[in-house]
């Protein structure tokens, strides 16, 4: 199994055993970090991060992971650099490849990160596009493995907009790892049929299942993981809020839904989350629509069944494994 020099653009580019290998490496690096064992084996090497969208977890994970590996980091956004306005992604890729040993990217289109990788001669890592969020799902798989002691056969239900980055990547991750994935939403939020067909084909080889359901109670009964994400993602216009609130409110993860799922069920969310009124957007939505929470209630978010902060910590350990394995 060799990862040296490879990109990390989407989970579909990896085999189940390669993903298992990255999870094993993540677990090993996590254990070393907890024990205070240094692993600054990439000293003298540097990475660049190009972020066209905002971030807390992903940016910090890349930075801390690189520092722990002994590397230097440069963070570039679209305002403080030439990217986009004055310089193409192809030119940027070649410039950065001359100075850095790896490039992290967060942006809008998947095509853009693929183009960056095509022109870069160093590994490129996808830190979220509209279509996929593969580093998040790697962390989620580690979290599930830590909690349940296994991944294969785990039943994961995704509640909400299943056509965007999180729904897509979770569906792919579940298909590859032999899990049972259900997307629960009104039909118009079901993912692209082409991606579903690709995942179903993978599922037929791994023992996974991919299903869709419009009824929350039916979908969650017996689930191991109830997963949700924000109803409006970064880059989407504010005008979609009204429709999303109307369509997706019945799919909010509530205490009642967790009860229907059963005692075994845990709650997961990639974060950030609108579970209370402590954010500017949360307050605006409350003023306009009278909602005190959106995709999940504060009760579920704060409950012992919520794995959200274990997931966010695992972002760093898994991104570290990706950098460790791919940087030459
Ligand atoms: N989950 C996640 O990607 O969070 P950030 O947007 O804060 O990076
Ligand atoms: N779907 C969300 C995920 C954030 C980590 C977004 O794209 O904004």
Stated as kind and residue range, the H or E segment containing 321 is helix 308-326
Name which of 11-15, 19-23, 84-88 the model is least confident about.
84-88
In the predicted model, what is the mean pLDDT of residues 130-144? Answer: 99
Judged by DSSP in three states, 54 sits in coil
In the predicted model, what is the mean pLDDT of residues 50-78? Answer: 97
State whether 110 and 236 are in the same domain. no
User: Which residue lies with its CA nearest to atom 7 of ligand 1?
Assistant: 56
Q: Is 231 in the pocket of ligand 2 (CB under 6 A)?
A: no
The answer to whether position 139 is within a domain reads no
> Exposed/middle/buried for 309, CB within 10 Å: 0-12, 13-18, 19+?
exposed
Q: How many structural domains comprise the chain?
A: 2
Q: Is the pLDDT assigned to residue 192 strictly greater than 90?
A: yes
- On whether the CB atoms of residues 316 and 60 are closer than 8 A, the answer is yes
Q: Using CA atoms, how far apart are residues 174 and 90, in angstroms rounded to an integer?
A: 33
The minimum-distance atom of ligand 1 relative to the CA of 58 is 8
319: CA distance to ligand 1 center in Å?
A: 12
Q: Is the pLDDT assigned to residue 34 strictly greater than 90?
A: yes
State whether 98 and 121 are in the same domain. yes
State whether 69 and 177 are in the same domain. no
- The string of pLDDT tens digits covering residues 278-311 is 999 999 999 999 999 999 999 999 999 999 999 9
State whether 97 and 116 are in the same domain. yes
State whether 16 and 49 are in the same domain. yes
The whole domain housing 178 covers 155-223+225-263+266-304
User: Which residue lies with its CA nearest to atom 4 of ligand 1?
Assistant: 57
State whether 299 and 169 are in the same domain. yes
State whether 185 and 52 are in the same domain. no
The answer to whether position 146 is within a domain reads no
The answer to whether position 238 is within a domain reads yes
State whether 318 and 287 are in the same domain. no
> Which ligand approaches the C-alpha of residue 308 most closely?
1
State whether 121 and 17 are in the same domain. yes
Q: Is 25 in the pocket of ligand 2 (CB under 6 A)?
A: no
State whether 205 and 180 are in the same domain. yes
Whichever domain contains 81, its CATH number is: 3.40.50.1370
User: Which residue lies with its CA nearest to atom 6 of ligand 1?
Assistant: 55
In the predicted model, what is the mean pLDDT of residues 225-246? Answer: 98
User: Which residue lies with its CA nearest to atom 3 of ligand 1?
Assistant: 58
Of 62, 27, 10, which Cα lies nearest the Cα of 310? 27
pLDDT confidence of residue 84:
85
Q: Is the pLDDT assigned to residue 230 strictly greater than 90?
A: yes
Q: Is 158 in the pocket of ligand 2 (CB under 6 A)?
A: no
Q: Is 128 in the pocket of ligand 1 (CB under 6 A)?
A: yes
The minimum-distance atom of ligand 1 relative to the CA of 312 is 1
The answer to whether position 63 is within a domain reads yes
What integer best gives the mean pLDDT of the chain? 98
pLDDT confidence of residue 45:
98
The answer to whether position 296 is within a domain reads yes
Q: Is the pLDDT assigned to residue 167 strictly greater than 90?
A: yes
The answer to whether position 5 is within a domain reads no
State whether 211 and 247 are in the same domain. yes
In the predicted model, what is the mean pLDDT of residues 38-42? Answer: 98
**Percent of the chain, pLDDT > 90?**
98
Catalytic residues: 106, 133, 136, 229, 270, 315
pLDDT confidence of residue 10:
98
205: CA distance to ligand 1 center in Å?
A: 31
pTM of the model: 0.98
The answer to whether position 38 is within a domain reads yes
Supply the DSSP symbol for 328: -
- On whether the CB atoms of residues 284 and 243 are closer than 8 A, the answer is no
Helix axes 110-119, 89-97, angle to 10 degrees: 40
**Percent of the chain, pLDDT > 70?**
100
pLDDT confidence of residue 1:
80
The minimum-distance atom of ligand 2 relative to the CA of 270 is 5
């Amino acid at each position: 199994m060799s990862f040296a020099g490879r990109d990390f653009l989407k989970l579909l580019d990896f085999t189940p055993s390669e993903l298992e290998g990255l999870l094993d490496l993540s677990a090993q690096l996590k254990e070393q970090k907890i024990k205070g064992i240094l692993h600054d084996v990439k000293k003298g090497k540097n990475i660049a991060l190009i972020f066209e969208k905002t971030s807390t977890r992903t940016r910090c994970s890349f930075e801390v992971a690189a520092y722990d590996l002994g590397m230097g980091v440069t963070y570039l956004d679209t305002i403080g650099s030439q990217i986009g306005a004055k310089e193409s992604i192809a030119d940027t890729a070649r410039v950065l490849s001359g100075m850095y040993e790896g490039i992290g990217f967060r942006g809008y289109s998947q095509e853009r990160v693929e183009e960056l990788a095509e022109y870069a001669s160093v590994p490129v890592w996808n830190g979220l596009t509209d279509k996929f969020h593969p580093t998040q799902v790697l962390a989620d798989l580690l979290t599930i493995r830590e909690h349940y002691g296994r991944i294969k056969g785990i039943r994961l239900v995704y509640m909400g907009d299943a056509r965007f980055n999180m729904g897509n990547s979770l569906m792919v991750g579940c298909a590859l790892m032999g899990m049972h994935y259900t997307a629960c939403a009104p039909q118009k939020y079901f993912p692209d049929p082409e991606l579903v067909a690709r995942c179903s084909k993978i599922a037929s080889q791994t023992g996974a299942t991919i299903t869709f359901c419009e009824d929350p109670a039916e979908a969650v009964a017996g689930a191991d993981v109830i997963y949700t994400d924000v109803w409006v993602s970064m880059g989407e216009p504010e005008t979609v809020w009204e429709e999303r609130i109307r369509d997706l409110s019945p799919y909010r993860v509530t205490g009642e839904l967790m009860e229907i799922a059963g005692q075994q069920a845990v709650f997961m969310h990639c974060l950030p989350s609108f579970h209370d009124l402590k954010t500017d957007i949360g307050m605006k939505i409350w003023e306009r629509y009278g909602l005190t929470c959106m995709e999940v209630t504060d009760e579920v978010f704060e409950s012992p069944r919520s794995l959200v902060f274990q997931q966010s910590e695992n972002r760093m350990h898994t991104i570290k494994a990706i950098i460790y394995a791919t940087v030459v």
